[in-house]
Amino acid sequence: MTCHENGSTHRSQIDRRTLLKYSAATGAALSVGLKAPAIAQTRAIKLGYVSPLTGPLAAFAEADNFIIANFKDATKAGAKIGNANVPVEVVVKDSQSNPNRAAEVAKDLIVHDKIDLMLVASTPETTNPVSTQCEIEEVPCISTVAPWQPWFIGRQANPAGGPPAWRGFNYTYHFFWGLEDVIAVFTNMWSQVATNKSVGGLFPNDGDGNAWGDKVVGFPPVLDKGGYKLTDPGRYQNLTDNFSAQIGAFKSANCEIITGVVLPPDFTTFWKQALQQGFKPKVASIGKAILFPVAVEALGKDGHNLSSEVWWSPNHPFKSSLTGVSAKDLAGAYQSATKKQWTQPIGFAHALFEVAIDVLKRAPDRDGKAIAATIAATNLDTVVGKVQWGAANLPPFAAKNVAKTPLVGGQWRYKDGKYDIVITDNRTAPAIPVGGQMEAIA
């Protein structure tokens, strides 16, 4: 966090905080004096939830209404916090896929709705502004569905300074996987198919593209070590109508593998143009673009055997700590309730609420500090796997605030007019069963 940015808000905030503290103290003194602490305890606990319900990121939030309805149902009778049964309220705000708007609604939730715990999901454009707002206002926040590097490094005052300059956060916690996991998953998948190890990279000029293509933390060093030859024509602008330059470069380098982190419309344009120009790689592992079945369906039959990272699927051997349903049943309930195919964010949206209720149950106090400390001590088996902060599978500077969930790789298979993802590599998380072997694109 940058000090100069927050200087003025901070000052006015201290005044408000001090006031709140005094009023809280007065209230506490009064309640002690009157011997009626139960009144304060039964005040409903309020969860704030920010997600991109509309705008270009809306596909990520498509399952939110279903998940929240489920959650409200499961906590209808309230949650047992301490000795009391406390009603739980969820206040949902739409970020409209806009980072500025996300920060604004987060502030609104904190100041007007006076939430006790903030939840936020779906891409750094949503999680980062909300987490930053919470850190400033000292409200505990749990976030997910954004690789941890953009979430952690992107919020540093000096992102280029490296680990010595990076600081941990006191109120904001995140669970998801990282860049190192997706690189491992992709290279594991490629090793299953016989290729000439010539890789073409499609990295756009945005946060994700720059991180994936980064010469230090991205794909290039790992591919070098694995004996792969990377052809990276350079950063392109999102929403372009033409990929002939990249296709030309990949053709002349005889690339048999394509990878990248591409927006869905751009990938369709690229793939159609590549096929028109007679370029057909054996493997195409693409992040972001083909997460959702509708995006693959848009390719018609040409989406068969495209591969992607899989964060969650109905075949994951996990079950919900909140409702006890398995991953399979959760996806099934979504499909029968909405008549839409399951998508990966369902599991994570559900897990976010699982962690929230688990934290609230264990929290000794409603105070922000107490809740934050309780989040840090979480060790919960959720529908997306174990969520535990402070684990050893992360670099020390990030371990306090980041918990990693398992990541595997899968391929889209076209069958009877519809696409299903089949998990084809689980070397990164052997607990998750594979559904088949990698197949080369015919």
Among 272, 304, 319, 362, binds other proteins (CB under 8 A): 272
- Tell how far CA 4 is from the center of its chain: 29
CB of 3 to other proteins, least distance (A): 34
C-alpha to C-alpha distances, 107 to 176, 359, 435, nearest whole angstrom = 24, 22, 44
Give the one residue of 264, 281, 406, 410 binding other proteins; rule: CB under 8 A.
264
In angstroms, the CA 297 to CA 300 distance is 5
Determine if 417 is a binding residue for other proteins (CB under 8 A): no
> In the range 231-250, which residues lie near other proteins by CB under 8 A?
233-237, 239-242, 244-246, 248
Candidates 139-147, 181-189, 287-295, 390-398: pick the segment binding other proteins (CB under 8 A): 287-295
Among 161, 162, 300, 436, binds other proteins (CB under 8 A): 300
Report long-range pairs for 88-91 (Cβ below 8 Å, ≥24 apart): 88/44, 88/45, 88/47, 88/357, 88/360, 89/44, 89/45, 89/46, 89/47, 90/46, 90/47, 90/48, 90/49, 91/46, 91/47, 91/48, 91/49, 91/115
From residue 195 to residue 224, the character string flagging contacts with other proteins as x (rule: CB under 8 A) and all else as - is ----------x-------------------
102 binds other proteins (CB under 8 A): no
Contact with other proteins (CB under 8 A) among 46, 107, 197, 251: 251
Between the CA of residue 183 and those of 34, 101, 202, 407, what are the distances in Å?
Answer: 60, 32, 14, 10
Sheet of 408-415: strand order equals 229-231, 198-202, 257-261, 283-287, 307-310, 408-415, 418-425
In the complex, minimum distance from the CB of residue 247 to other proteins, in angstroms, rounded to a whole number? 9
Which amino acid type is present at position 40? A
Regarding 277 and contact with other proteins (CB under 8 A), the answer is: yes
- The reply on whether position 253 binds other proteins by CB under 8 A is no
SS3 content of the chain, % helix, strand, coil (to 5): 45, 20, 35
Output 269 or 321, the one with its CB closest to other proteins: 269
Q: For residues 56 and 159, which CB has a smaller minimum distance to other proteins in the complex?
A: 56
Regarding 275 and contact with other proteins (CB under 8 A), the answer is yes
Binding flag, residue 24, other proteins (CB under 8 A): no
Residues that bind other proteins (CB under 8 A): 54-59, 62, 205, 233-237, 239-242, 244-246, 248, 251-252, 264-266, 268-269, 272-273, 275-278, 292, 294-295, 298-300, 302
